Amino acid sequence: MNFPDLMAGPPPTHLPADVATTELQSGVAPVDVVRDHPASPAAWAALAQQAVDADADDVTVYAYARVGYHRSLDALRRNGWKGHGPVPWEHEPNRGFLRCLALLATAAKAIGETDEAERCADFLRDSSATAAETLL
């Protein structure tokens, strides 16, 4: 007789492919991809990263990353996530969310939101140790 493992955590969440990724990879500007796909975590992550790379104000980076983070939470919930559990970096469609979360942690720290920076960094580590090692 088989019994479910009651001590096991929730299964990993795997987001579906993000159509914005193809456009970003083909060189479409992140701002244009966000306009076409405003629900895309990958598009918001690319826009936030572009702001970092251009030495934009930390508040701008924070705003882009925060929008991407919230759009990511919506996508995670639509795909069975219950507020905790692994979101593996190894599954490429999850990377938009994980990148937004890392960028939000960094930007929050830069603007003095220490508690939020720590919560986001912990959330990233809890979601994917690989993403935390790669992005923080």
Q: What's the mean pLDDT in 99-107?
A: 98
Which of 36, 26, 17, 14 lies closest to 80, judged by CA?
14
- pLDDT score, position 9: 83
- Helix, coil or strand: residue 120: helix
- pLDDT score, position 5: 59
Task: Give tens-digit pLDDT for 1-19.
Answer: 666 656 678 999 999 999 9
Q: What's the mean pLDDT in 26-53?
A: 98
Residue type, 14: H
Query: Hey, what are 104's tokens?
Result: 């939000």
- pLDDT score, position 32: 98
Q: What's the mean pLDDT in 95-106?
A: 98
Confidence of residue 134 (pLDDT cuts 50, 70, 90): very high
- Phi, psi (5° rounding) for residue 111? -100, 10
Instruction: Tell me the C-alpha to C-alpha distance, in Å, between residue 79 and each of 3, 11, 53.
Output: 25, 12, 31
